[in-house]
Amino acid sequence: MVESLARPGGNITGLTRFSEELAGKRLELFKEAYPKLSRLGILAGAGALKTYEAAARDLKIAFIPLKVSGPEPDIEGAFQTATNAQVNGLIIIGYNLINPYRTQILALAAKNHLPSMFAVNGWVEAGGLMSYSPSDGYTFRRAATYVDKILKGSKPAELPIEQPTKFELVINLKTAKQIGLTIPPNVLARADRVFR
């Protein structure tokens, strides 16, 4: 859609939530919160799989892609694959295909006592274990500055697309208790938000 983040061209500008560098940080935080993590199942779009595979390899965590496709993705089948592969942790990078199945995914993660890490805070608010993602509040405030600049005459094509600079670690202690997991105090102390 754009020529580059620095010079978008056309009539487009804004902010992006995308940041490949977060894959490694997410997995590091997940491993700190759940030191027994050894076999990671991942439910994500094809682009994210490669990034997370490299990050898992660096942390010496086995990596098992849980593939779903089609207009009605087989979410239960993906969880069966996870069970068969003896997955003991799950990372979910929400995308258009699976977002409508959030309730089912969270219920299956809880039923299978799978600690889970997410790329969007809303999944934790809905019952997921933890997320590490760009701060939505900060991003929305930055978006308002772009609107202001454009209303004052700046051309969108001349405003670089900003990448995230402020991030949040969110933890759901209610979910941790439900799946029998104790979050280490050093991880809990770094959380920006905690649901109890």
Instruction: Locate the domains of the chain by residue range.
Output: 22-135+165-195
Question: Which pTM was predicted?
Answer: 0.88
Q: How many CB atoms lie within 10 A of CB 31?
A: 20
Range among 64-73, 94-103, 155-164, 180-189 rated most confident: 180-189
Q: CA-CA-CA-CA torsion for 5, 11, 15, 21, nearest 10 degrees?
A: -30
Overall residue count recorded for the chain in this entry: 196
> What is the average per-residue pLDDT within 73-98?
93
Name which of 12-16, 59-63, 75-79 the model is least confident about.
Answer: 12-16
Of 135 and 7, the one with more pLDDT: 135
SS3 of residue 89 by DSSP: strand
Residue (of 135, 136, 109, 103) closest to 42 by Cα position: 109
Q: Is the pLDDT of residue 141 over 90?
A: no
* pLDDT score at 163: 86
Distances in Å between the Cα of 132 and the Cα atoms of 89, 160, 195 are 15, 24, 14
Q: Which CATH superfamily is domain 22-135+165-195 in?
A: Response regulator (3.40.50.2300)
Residue with the two structure tokens 């608010």: 125
The token pair that represents 73 in the structure block: 């993705």
* pLDDT score at 10: 80
Strand order in the sheet with 116-118: 62-65, 39-43, 89-92, 116-118, 130-134, 167-172, 193-195
* pLDDT score at 19: 65
> What is the average per-residue pLDDT within 133-162?
90
Rounded CA separation 35/16 (Å): 31
* pLDDT score at 20: 67
pLDDT, tens only, 15-64: 887 666 789 999 999 999 999 999 999 998 777 888 899 999 999 999 99
